[in-house]
Amino acid sequence: MADKWLRLGNPWEIPRPEIAFEVKFGGRTEAGRRDGRYRVRWIPDRIVRGTAYDIPVLGYGVPTANLLRLWKAEALESFDFQAFNTGNYYGAVLEKVVSENITKVLYPNDESPQGKLLRLQQQYFFASCALQDMLRIHTQRGARVDQFDQKYAVQLNDTHPAIAIAELMRLLVDEHDLDWEPAWGITQRTFAYTNHTLLPEALEQWSVPLFAQVLPRHLEIIYELNHRFLDQVRRRYPGDTDRLRRLSLIDESGPRAVRMAHLACLGSHAVNGVAALHTELLKQGVLRDFHELAPGKFSNKTNGVTPRRFLLLSNPGLAELLTRTVGPGWVRDLDELRRLEPHAEDPAFREEWRHVKSHNKARLAALLQQRTGVAVDPATLFDIQVKRLHEYKRQHLNVLHIITLANRLRRCPTLEIPARTFIFGAKAAPGYYLAKLIIRLIHGVADVVNHDPRLQGRLRVVFLPNFNVKNAQKIYPAADVSEQISTAGKEASGTGNMKFALNGALTLGTLDGANIEIRERVGPENFFLFGLSAPEVRALGARGYRPLDHYEQNAELRETLDQIASGTFSPGDARLFQPLVDNLLYHDAYFVLADFASYCAAQERIGAAYRDPEEWTRMSIRTVARMGYFSSDRSIREYCADIWHATPEPIALTRISE
C-alpha cells in the first residue's frame, strides 16, 4: 500500500522559490582555449531547476534552529507551447513530468537499467544543488572561492553523494575559473567520507556508458583525476600493476564501471568507519590499498543514537524515573546515567523499573493487537528483532530457533522455560527475493504457532508491518531481549542495538559492529554472546564451509529445516520455501547453520536468567547506566573535533517559556 504521507501537505517545510539552481544533464562537452587557458564547456541536452525547501531542526531547549535544506526538481519551462500549438498535448506536459520524476521517490540501488539511470540523475541533482547553494552563500558573504574549504565541511554519508567530488571540481574549474591543482586541494580539504557497509556487492559502481550518457563532463573529470592519481601510485609502487588495477577509479575487471567508494576516498581528507571492528575490517579489506597509501586519513567514529528521541520522547515512563533518580542532566549528557548504578541494589527501585517496562510492553501489545489482530500477553518475555530484512542480519536464524522451540514445547509440555513473544518488524528492498521469502516464512510460522493449542500461553510470533521510526519509538522501549544476531564481520555498526540497550533490553548478539563495544561497556555478564567471531567466520569460509554437515549432525536443526521444506508453514504450497532451504543447505553465505547450535544455547541461558526477575532487573539497570558512550552527542563531538575542525559557537540563552 502506498504511504500517502504528503496528501495533507507538509506543515514543516518552508518553500524557498527564490533559492533555485539549474542542473544540467546529458549532452556533450567542447574543449577549447579561452583567455589563454584550456577550458571545457558542457553543452547539456536537458536542464532541470532545483528549488529549495527548508525544514527547521530545533535544538533541544535552546533558541536556535538549523535548516535542513531539501531540493525539488522542476522543469525550467513547465509547458511547451510549441508542442501544444501543434496539437501535441501529451508532449506539452512531458518535459514537466520527466523533470519532476527526479525527486518523486528515492530510487533503489538494485534496479533495472531504467531505474539505475534515474538513481544516478537523482544523486547528481541533490549534490549539485547543495554545492551550488554553498558556493552562492560563500560568495554572497564576500568570501573568495579559494577559501571555500575554510568555511565548509562536506561529509559524504556513504557513497550516494560521492559524485559531489567531481561536481565541486567542475564548479571550481569550469564555472569559477580556478586552475586544476588549487581546485583539487580545496576539494580534498572540503570532503570527508563515512563508509557504511562491508558487503562488497553493496559498494556503488556506475557503468561507464550510463555515466557518460548522464554526466559526460564528470566522466572526463574522473578520468583526469584517475590519470593523475595512478601516476602518483606508479611512482610510489613501480611495476606494481596489480595495485594500479585495484586502486583505479575505474573497475575494468568486467564491463567498465566507476567505483564511487574509490572516488570518495581519493577526494576526501578523512575516511571513517562507524564502529571499531568495522573500521579495522575496512583497513584490512575493501579499503586496504587506500589505507596503505594514506593511513593518516583513516579514523573510527563509533555511531550513537539521540537520547532525546530514543529515550526522552519514546520512553516517557523510564525518562521520568531516570530524572527522578539522577536528575535531568542525562538528557544533554548521557554519561550522567552512570549514577543509576547503585540503585540496581535497591529492591523498591527495581520494582519501579519493572513497572515501567510492563507499561511499555502493554503499550506495544495494544499496538500489535490494533495493527495485526494478534493478542500478546505483556507478562511474557518480549524478544524483539526489528531492522531492515537482509540475509546477513539473519532473521531466519531467529525463525529456525522459534520452530525448534515450538517442537521442544510440543514434545515436552512441562518444559520449565518462560513464555515468550517473538516480535519482528522489517522491510525488504523491492528486488530482494530471498528477503521477501523470509518475511513470508515469519508469517507462516506465526500462523502455525499462534493457532496451535499446545503452544497457547507459551509461545507467540507477531510481525508488525511498516517498521519505521514512528513505530520504532513504541517498540524499542518494550523489549526484554534485543536480537543483534548478524554474521560477525558483516554489520558495520548497527544503531538499533544501542536504542534497545538504552531502553533496558538485554542484548542477544554476535561479536559484530558496535555490539562489541556495547558488550565491553555494559559488561560481558550483562550480554548474551553467541556465535563465530569475524576471524572464525573468515577462517571457516577459507577452509571450505559445508552447511550440510550441521544438517546431518544436528537432529533438531534437521527436523526444523525438513518442516520448512515440506510445507508445514506454507499450506497449499509445499515448495514455497524450498529456495530458502536450498540456499541454507548448499550455500549459506552467512553461516546461519554454523551458528544455530550456539544461538539456541544462548536462548536457553536467556530463558534461565529471565526466571530470576530481580537479577534480570539488576542487569537491565546496569546496562542503561553504562550506555552513555552511545549518545550521538559523543559521536558528533568526535566528527567536530577530528574531521570538521569545528568549534562550538556560543548561543544567546534566552529562556524559552514553558
Please identify, among the stretches 20-28, 464-472, 549-557, 603-611, the one whose residues bind ligand PLP according to the rule CB under 6 A.
Answer: 464-472
- How far apart are alpha carbons 523 and 528 in whole angstroms? 10
Q: How many CB atoms lie within 10 A of CB 292?
A: 13
CB of 470 to ligand PLP, least distance (A): 8
Asked if 467 interacts with ligand PLP (CB under 6 A), we say yes
Please give the backbone phi and psi of residue 476, each rounded to the nearest 5 degrees, phi first. -55, -40
Please identify, among the stretches 367-375, 462-470, 591-599, 628-636, the one whose residues bind ligand PLP according to the rule CB under 6 A.
Answer: 462-470
Catalytic residues: 196, 387-388, 393, 495, 499
Asked if 628 interacts with ligand PLP (CB under 6 A), we say no
What one-letter code names the amino acid at 644?
A: W
Contact letters for ligand PLP, residues 420-459 (x by CB under 6 A): ----------------------------------------
Please identify, among the stretches 59-67, 206-214, 351-359, 463-471, the one whose residues bind ligand PLP according to the rule CB under 6 A.
Answer: 463-471
Contact 475, 464 (CB under 8 A): yes
Question: Of 188 and 495, which has the nearer Cβ to ligand PLP?
Answer: 495
Asked if 495 interacts with ligand PLP (CB under 6 A), we say yes
Contact 321, 356 (CB under 8 A): yes
- How far apart are alpha carbons 525 and 344 in whole angstroms? 15
Q: Which of 307, 477, 489, 496 binds ligand PLP (CB under 6 A)?
A: 496
- Grid cell 528515492 is found at 106
CA distance readout (Å), 594 to 36, 97, 346, 536, 588:
67, 51, 42, 11, 9
Taken as a whole, the chain contains a residue count of 658
Task: Find the binding residues for ligand PLP in span 329-388 (CB under 6 A).
Answer: 387-388
Please identify, among the stretches 89-97, 374-382, 492-500, 635-643, the one whose residues bind ligand PLP according to the rule CB under 6 A.
Answer: 492-500
Question: Of 105 and 469, which has the nearer Cβ to ligand PLP?
Answer: 469
Q: How many CB atoms lie within 10 A of CB 253?
A: 8
Residue 376, all three cell numbers: 500478546
- Grid cell 554519508 is found at 157
- How far apart are alpha carbons 422 and 503 in whole angstroms? 18
CB of 471 to ligand PLP, least distance (A): 7
CB of 52 to ligand PLP, least distance (A): 27
Q: Which of 1, 469, 542, 656 binds ligand PLP (CB under 6 A)?
A: 469
Residue 570, all three cell numbers: 506454507
Q: How many CB atoms lie within 10 A of CB 137?
A: 13
- Grid cell 602518483 is found at 232
First to last CA, the chain: 40
CB of 500 to ligand PLP, least distance (A): 8
Asked if 656 interacts with ligand PLP (CB under 6 A), we say no
- How far apart are alpha carbons 366 and 360 in whole angstroms? 10
**Cβ-based neighbours of 223, under 8 Å, separated by 6 or more:** 250
Asked if 494 interacts with ligand PLP (CB under 6 A), we say yes
Please identify, among the stretches 239-247, 327-335, 347-355, 468-476, the one whose residues bind ligand PLP according to the rule CB under 6 A.
Answer: 468-476
Please identify, among the stretches 70-78, 350-358, 491-499, 559-567, the one whose residues bind ligand PLP according to the rule CB under 6 A.
Answer: 491-499
Contact 510, 503 (CB under 8 A): no
Q: Which of 269, 357, 499, 618 binds ligand PLP (CB under 6 A)?
A: 499
Q: How many CB atoms lie within 10 A of CB 108?
A: 13
Pairing of β 420-425 and β 381-386: parallel
Question: Of 303 and 404, which has the nearer Cβ to ligand PLP?
Answer: 303
Question: Of 10 and 468, which has the nearer Cβ to ligand PLP?
Answer: 468
Residue nearest to ligand PLP (CB): 496
Asked if 531 interacts with ligand PLP (CB under 6 A), we say no
Q: Which of 232, 369, 456, 468 binds ligand PLP (CB under 6 A)?
A: 468
Question: Of 121 and 487, which has the nearer Cβ to ligand PLP?
Answer: 487
Asked if 308 interacts with ligand PLP (CB under 6 A), we say no
Task: Find the binding residues for ligand PLP in span 379-398 (CB under 6 A).
Answer: 387-388
- How far apart are alpha carbons 177 and 652 in whole angstroms? 40
CB of 392 to ligand PLP, least distance (A): 10
Q: For residue 321, give the nearest of 504, 501, 469, 471 by alpha carbon.
A: 504
CB of 623 to ligand PLP, least distance (A): 17
CB of 488 to ligand PLP, least distance (A): 15
Q: For residue 47, give the nearest of 74, 72, 27, 23 by alpha carbon.
A: 23
SS3 461: strand
Alpha carbon 306 to its chain centroid, in Å, reads 15
Residue 542, all three cell numbers: 577459507
Number of residues binding to ligand PLP, judged by CB under 6 A: 10
CB of 7 to ligand PLP, least distance (A): 22
Question: Of 95 and 517, which has the nearer Cβ to ligand PLP?
Answer: 517
Please identify, among the stretches 141-149, 253-261, 489-497, 597-605, the one whose residues bind ligand PLP according to the rule CB under 6 A.
Answer: 489-497
- Grid cell 564555472 is found at 175
- Grid cell 511547451 is found at 80
Asked if 307 interacts with ligand PLP (CB under 6 A), we say no
CB of 499 to ligand PLP, least distance (A): 6
Question: Of 388 and 436, which has the nearer Cβ to ligand PLP?
Answer: 388
∠ CA 495-307-384, nearest 5°, is: 45
- How far apart are alpha carbons 165 and 222 in whole angstroms? 9
- How far apart are alpha carbons 328 and 342 in whole angstroms? 18
CB of 190 to ligand PLP, least distance (A): 29
Please identify, among the stretches 86-94, 129-137, 154-162, 465-473, the one whose residues bind ligand PLP according to the rule CB under 6 A.
Answer: 465-473
Question: Of 121 and 398, which has the nearer Cβ to ligand PLP?
Answer: 398
Question: Of 489 and 494, which has the nearer Cβ to ligand PLP?
Answer: 494
Asked if 477 interacts with ligand PLP (CB under 6 A), we say no
Asked if 472 interacts with ligand PLP (CB under 6 A), we say yes
Pairing of β 270-273 and β 381-386: unpaired
CB of 388 to ligand PLP, least distance (A): 6
Asked if 314 interacts with ligand PLP (CB under 6 A), we say no
- How far apart are alpha carbons 547 and 553 in whole angstroms? 10
Paired with 272 in beta bridges are: 194, 299
Residue 607, all three cell numbers: 530463558
Residue ranges binding ligand PLP (CB under 6 A): 387-388, 467-469, 472, 494-496, 499
